[in-house]
C-alpha cells in the first residue's frame, strides 16, 4: 500500500459515495484528512479515520462560493499544519433537462457545482502548496467523453471543462513539483448520483455494455486516488484516467 503518513489530504464532498471512500482510503494509507459536506454529514468518516489513528475533521462548506472555499482551506492548514493532497470530488447532475428548455439558472448551477468548485479549490490550495510533492486530483466523469445521458448537457460540459482545467494546471504547477491529474468514473453504484438520476433499467443496460461485466463502486475510484496521491505517482501529471470497466470500448 502507498504510504501517505505525515501527509494531509482534503476531499470535497467527502460524506458519501466516492468522496467518502476516497477520504477513508487516504486515511487508511496514513494521511490526516479534512472533508467538506453539504447534505450528507461527515461525522462517520471522521470517526472512522480517528479509529485508524488519524487526525480528521469535517465542515459544511458551499463549494460554489469562493470565499467559503478559501476559508475552509485556511482552516485545514490551521488545524492540521499543512496541505499536501487535494481531491476535488464535490459535484452532481442536479437535474436532467434538454438544452432547448434548460434554464440559465440550471446551467450556471451545474457549472458552478462541478467546474467552478474545482477551480476555487485548486486556487485556494495552491497558496499553501509551497514544497514539491503536492497532489491535486479532480474527479471528472465519463460524461466528459460521451456527452452523458439524456438531459445531461450541462453536466457533460462541466466535467469536460474539468479536463481542460487539469491539463492547464498540470503545466502551470509542474515547475513547483506539484502534479495534477483527473479521474473519469463511469457507472459507479452505491452513490447518490445514480440512485437519484438513473433508473434501474438504464443501470442494467449500461452494465450489460461494460466489458468487465459489472458496475464500478466507490472503492474502484478511491484506490486510484491513493495511487495518484502517492510518491509512486510522482512522475504522473496531466493525465485523465478512465475508471469504467472498459465502458468506452463498446
Closest residue by Cα to residue 138 from 157, 164, 156: 164
Residue 213 lies in a domain: yes
pLDDT of residue 194: 62
pLDDT digits (tens, 9 = 90+) for 68-96: 999 999 999 999 999 999 999 999 999 99
> Is 217 a known active-site residue?
no
pLDDT digits (tens, 9 = 90+) for 54-65: 999 999 999 999
Q: Which of 37, 155, 217, 227 is catalytic?
A: 155
pTM: 0.95
CATH label of the domain that carries residue 32: 3.40.50.720
205 pLDDT higher than 90: no
Number of domains into which the chain is organized? 1
Residue 246 lies in a domain: no
Residue 2 lies in a domain: no
Domain, as residue range, for 169: 8-241
pLDDT of residue 12: 98
pLDDT of residue 22: 98
At residue 199 the predicted structure's pLDDT band, cuts being 50, 70 and 90, is confident
Residue 249 lies in a domain: no
Q: C-alpha cell of 31?
A: 494521511
Percent of the chain with pLDDT over 90: 86
CA-CA distance, 90 to 64, in Å (whole number)? 10
At residue 190 the predicted structure's pLDDT band, cuts being 50, 70 and 90, is confident
**Dihedral (C-alpha) 64, 135, 168, 238: value to the nearest 10 degrees?**
-130
Amino acid at each position: 500500500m502507498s504510504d501517505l503518513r505525515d501527509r494531509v489530504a482534503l476531499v470535497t464532498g467527502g460524506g458519501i459515495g466516492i468522496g467518502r471512500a476516497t477520504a477513508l482510503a487516504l486515511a487508511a494509507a496514513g494521511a490526516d484528512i479534512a472533508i467538506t459536506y453539504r447534505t450528507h454529514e461527515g461525522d462517520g468518516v471522521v470517526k472512522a479515520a480517528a479509529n485508524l489513528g488519524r487526525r480528521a475533521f469535517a465542515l459544511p462548506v458551499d463549494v460554489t462560493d469562493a470565499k467559503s472555499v478559501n476559508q475552509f482551506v485556511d482552516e485545514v492548514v490551521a488545524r492540521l499544519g499543512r496541505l499536501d493532497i487535494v481531491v476535488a470530488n464535490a459535484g452532481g447532475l442536479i437535474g436532467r433537462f434538454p438544452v432547448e428548455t434548460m434554464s440559465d439558472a440550471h446551467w450556471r448551477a451545474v457549472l458552478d457545482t462541478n467546474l467552478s468548485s474545482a477551480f476555487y479549490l485548486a486556487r485556494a490550495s495552491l497558496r499553501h502548496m509551497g514544497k514539491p510533492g503536492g497532489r491535486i486530483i479532480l474527479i471528472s466523469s465519463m460524461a466528459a467523453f460521451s456527452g452523458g445521458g439524456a438531459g445531461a448537457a450541462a453536466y457533460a460540459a462541466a466535467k469536460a471543462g474539468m479536463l481542460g482545467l487539469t491539463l492547464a494546471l498540470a503545466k502551470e504547477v509542474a515547475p513547483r513539483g506539484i502534479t495534477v491529474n483527473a479521474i473519469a468514473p463511469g457507472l459507479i453504484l452505491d452513490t447518490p448520483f445514480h440512485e437519484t438520476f438513473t433508473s434501474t433499467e438504464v443501470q442494467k443496460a449500461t452494465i450489460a455494455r461494460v466489458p468487465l461485466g459489472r458496475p464500478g463502486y466507490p472503492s474502484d475510484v478511491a484506490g486510484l486516488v491513493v495511487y495518484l496521491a502517492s510518491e509512486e505517482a510522482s512522475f504522473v501529471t496531466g493525465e485523465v484516467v478512465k475508471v469504467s470497466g472498459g465502458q468506452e470500448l463498446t
